[in-house]
Amino acid sequence: MAALGWLTPRRRSATARSVLAGEAAAEAARKTSQQLEVLAEAEAAEAEPEAEFPVRGDVRAAAFFDLDNTVMQGAALFHFGRGLYKRKFFQRRELARFAWQQTWFRLAGVEDPEHMQDARDSALSIVKGHRVSELMTIGEEIYDEYMADRIWPGTRALAQAHLDAGQKVWLVTAAPVETATIIARRLGLTGALGTVAESVDGVYTGKLVGEPLHGPAKAEAVRALAAAENLELSRCAAYSDSHNDIPMLSLVGHPYAINPDTKLRKYAKERDWRLRDYRTGRKAAKVGIPAAAGVGALAGGTAAAVALHRRRR
Taking alpha carbons only, the member of 270, 226, 237, 253 closest to residue 70 is 237
Angle separating helix axes 113-127 and 92-108, nearest 10 degrees: 150
SS3 64: strand
Q: Which of 58, 68, 241, 245 is catalytic?
A: 68
Angle at 107 between CA 85 and CA 212, to 5 degrees: 60
Q: Which of 66, 245, 261, 277 is catalytic?
A: 66
> Is 241 part of the annotated catalytic residue set?
no
CA separation for the pair 217, 172 (Å, rounded): 10
Taking alpha carbons only, the member of 166, 180, 1 closest to residue 76 is 180
- Strands of 62-65's sheet in order across: 191-195, 168-176, 62-65, 237-240, 254-258, 274-276
> Is 149 part of the annotated catalytic residue set?
no
User: 126: how many CB neighbours lie within 10 A of its CB?
Assistant: 20
CA separation for the pair 58, 237 (Å, rounded): 12
Taking alpha carbons only, the member of 31, 19, 278 closest to residue 156 is 278
Which residues are known to be catalytic? 66, 68
